[in-house]
Structure 1
Amino acid sequence: MRERIKVLITVKTYPTPSWKHFETVCTAGVREDGSFIRLYPIDFRYRDVVDQFQKYQWIEVDVAPAENDPRPESFKPYMSTIETIGPVLSTKDYWAERKKIIFQKPIKSMCELNLSHVKDCSLGLIKASSIVDFQAIPVERDWVGKAKAAQMQIPLHGERKDLEKIPYNFRYIYRCTDPNCNGHEQIITDWEVGQLFRKMRDSYGEDNALTKVKERFFDFICGPGKDTHFYVGRVNQHWTWIIIGCFYPKIEPPKPPKQLSLF
C-alpha cells in the first residue's frame, strides 16, 4: 500500500552498480516517532538536484513496502514525490536537535541485535563502548562480474556517470555495551568514507589518504571527547550486520545539581 511519510535522513552508503537502476545508494532514516526506515533503491547521483537531500534533513516521500525483501524497515521510495523540508538539523548544544529524534527508541547492544531475527529487526543504532581500531583491508581495485557489467550500461536518458570502486574495505573493531561482549569486526559503507578517501588520495597520494581517513573516522569520530554510536544494518540475503553510518556528538558535561531554596 502506497503512503506518504516524513523521514529524517541519517545514512547514505557509497553507491554500488545495479543492472536495473544503474547504481543504487542504500539510504536510511528515522520517522517522526523514532522508528527506522530503509529507502531502497535510490539512484542518487542520477537524481535532479532538488532530489539530492542531505543527511539530517527532513524529507517527505511516497513509499510502498519493498518487494522480495523480508527486512521490515525496507520501503520502495517514489523518487518523483520527494520533497525536502527545511534545513539540515543543527549540531548546536551537543546535537540536541538530532538527539531529540534519534534517541526516541531504546538503544540496544550489538550483541542483542545479533540475536534478533531478520523479520523483526534489520536497522539499529548501537553505542560503541570501546573502539579498538579502524582498518583498511585491500580488495579488488575494479568492479567485477555483474557489478562491472552494470557499471558499463548506457542510460536511456543522459550520460553514464563513472562510479569508482574503492579498493579497500574499511572496518571498525569495537566492543558494544553488552557486559559479555567479545568484540565485533564490521565494515563501514558510509558514503563519506569513500568520498574522503578519493579526495585525500587525489591530493596527497594513496598511503597518505589511508592515514587521513583513519584520522577522521578513528581519531576524531571515536575520540575521547565523543559519544560515538554506530548506525547498523543487515545486508539483504546474507543477513550479516554492517556499519552504515556514525553518530558522534561531543560528550555533554554533567549538569550541575539544582540548588534548593532556603525560603
Structure 2
Amino acid sequence: MAKTKVLVTVKTYPTLSQKYDELVCTAGFLEDGSWIRVYPVPFRKLDTRYKKWQWIELELVKNDSDPRNESFRPYDYEDITLGEVISTKNGWAERKKFALTKVYTNMSELIQEAKNRAIGTSLAVFKPSVVIDFIWKPCAREWDEKKVKAIYARAAQGNLFDTEEEKEVKKLFKIVDKIPYEFSYVFQSEDGIKRTLMIEDWEVCALYRRYVNEYHMSEIDACKKVREKYLDEFAKKRDLYFFLGTTLKHHFISKNPFIIIGTFTPPLAQPQEPSLFDLNYE
C-alpha cells in the first residue's frame, strides 16, 4: 500500500475511549492543498512522534465508521515516516500556501456545505469578521470513571510480545490530565450572526496546564492568561484564522456542528512604504 503525505496542522487534546485509550484527532493538508482527517490516533503512540506543521507519510484507509469525506484512519500506527517541519520564515509564506488556499468568511454558508451530503465539508479554514471575546466555563473535572478503569486495566495487562520499552511504558502509564474548563471564541462572520465556538486545540489546553503546573497559578489566573494569549495577542496583534472541524456525533444533527480545532496566527502584513514612483504629484 502506498503511503500518503500529510502536512499536520491540527492535533486536538486527547479524549478517552474504552476501546483505544486516549485518542487524538489529527488533521492537515495533502500535497494538493485539500484537507484530510486522520482518526483515531492513540495519543500514547503518536504524541511524541511528530510536530505540528511537519510532513508525515503513512498508509491510510477510509474510516468506514466515519461518513465524513475527509476522514481516514492509519493502516499501521507504527509505520510513519517523518519529514520536514515547515518554518515560519518570510512571514509564514510557506505555511500560508496551504492554510490560505481556501478561506471561508461566512459561517452560515459553511454550515450549509456541511449539511449538504453531496459536499459534506467537515474541515475548513475560517476567517472571522470580528472577534468579540475569548471565554471559559467550568466543565467536568475528572474523566469518566468507567473509561478510566478500563484503560488502566488494559495498561496493566502483560503481553508476551511486548518489547522492554513497551513494558516500561505500561509501568509508567498515567492518563493525561483532564482540563476542568472549556475555552471558546465569541465572534461574528459575514452573516452578521454572533456565535460562540469551543476550541479543542492541543495548544490551548497545554498552555492552561503550563500556567497551573509550572507557574503554580490558580485556575482562574491561568484561564485569564490563556485569554490574554488568544484574545489580546492572537486576535488583536496577529492575523487570526480558525481551523474548524465537525464532530462525528453532531455533523448532521447539530445546528452548528463545527468546533475550533486549531488556530493559524501569522503576523499581520506590514504596510509598505510608498516609493517616489507611487506618489501623486499635481
Output the TM-score relative to the length of structure 2: 0.83
Matches within 5 A, 1:18-33: 18-33=17-32
- Give SS of 1:42's match: strand
SS of the residue aligned with 2:28?
Answer: strand
The residue that corresponds to 2:178 in the other structure is: 165
Shift of 1:153: 3.5
Identity %: 39
Q: What corresponds to 1:116 in structure 2?
A: 113
- Look up the equivalent residue of 1:133 and give its one-letter code: D
- Aligned partner letter, 1:227: D
The residue type equivalent to 2:62 in the other structure is P
Match among 229, 234, 237 for residue 246 of structure 2: 234
Contact 2:14 2:23 survives alignment (8 Å): yes
Q: Is the Cα contact below 8 Å between 2:45 and 2:77 reproduced in 1?
A: no
Aligned-partner residue type, residue 242 of structure 2:
F
Report the secondary structure of 1:192's partner residue: helix
Q: CA deviation at 1:18?
A: 1.1
Q: 1:5 to 1:192 in 2, by over 3 A?
A: same
CA deviation string 1:129-158 (max 9, x = no partner) = 211111111011111255444443332454
Residue equivalent to 1:66: 63
Displacement after TM superposition at 1:110 (Å)? 2.1
Structure 2 counterpart of 1:172, one-letter code = Y
> Which residue is equivalent to 1:249?
266
Question: What is aligned with 1:194?
Answer: 205
Q: Show the counterpart of 2:80.
A: 82
Larger Rg: 2
Counterpart amino acid of 2:65? N
Matched, 1:57 2:54: yes
Q: Is the 8 A contact 1:6 1:60 kept in 2?
A: yes
Cα RMSD of the aligned pairs, angstroms, is 2.0
Q: Distance in 2 between matches of 1:150 and 1:246?
A: 33
Secondary structure in structure 2 of the residue aligned to 1:115: helix
AA aligned opposite 1:233: G
CA contact (8 A) 1:17 1:150 kept: no
Tell whether the 8 Å contact from 2:8 to 2:54 is kept in structure 1 after alignment: yes
Stretches of structure 2 that go unaligned for 5 or more consecutive residues are 158-165, 252-256
Residue 117 of structure 1: how far off its partner (Å)? 3.3
Q: Deviation of residue 94 (structure 1)? A: 1.6
**What letter matches 2:122 in structure 1?**
S
Structure with more of its chain in helix, by fraction: 2
Q: CA separation in 1, counterparts of 2:92 and 2:53?
A: 11
Contact 1:226 1:250 (8 Å CA) reproduced: yes
After TM superposition, the structure 1 stretch with the greater mean CA deviation from structure 2, 58-67 or 205-214, is: 205-214
Contact 1:60 1:83 (8 Å CA) reproduced = yes
Other-structure match for 2:160 = none
Partner AA of 1:208 in structure 2 = D
Aligned to 1:4: 3
TM-score scaled to structure 1, two decimals?
0.89
Mapping of residues 34-49 of structure 1, within 5 Å: 34-47=33-46, 49=48
1:182 aligned residue (186, 193, 197)? 193
Conservation of the 8 A alpha-carbon contact between 1:175 and 1:184: yes
Count of equivalent residues: 253
**Deviation string for 1:50-99 (max 9, x for gaps)?**
xx10000111111000011110000001322211112x211122210100
Q: Distance in 2 between matches of 1:26 and 1:256?
A: 43
The reply to whether residue 131 of structure 1 matches residue 144 of structure 2 is: no
CA distance in 2, matches of 1:136, 1:48: 26
1:107 deviates by: 3.5
Letter in structure 1 aligned against 2:55: W
Q: Is the 8 A contact 1:22 1:153 kept in 2?
A: no
Match of 1:206 among 219, 230, 242: 219
Partner SS for 1:154: helix
Measure, in 1, the Cα distance between the counterparts of 2:148 and 2:201. 21
- Looking at structure 1, the residues matched to 90 and 258 of structure 2 have their Cα atoms a distance apart, in angstroms, of 31
Indicate the residue corresponding to 2:254 in structure 1.
none
Deviations 1:9-65 (A, max 9, x none): 00000001111111100011011111000000111333485xx10000111111000
Gaps of 5+ in 1: none
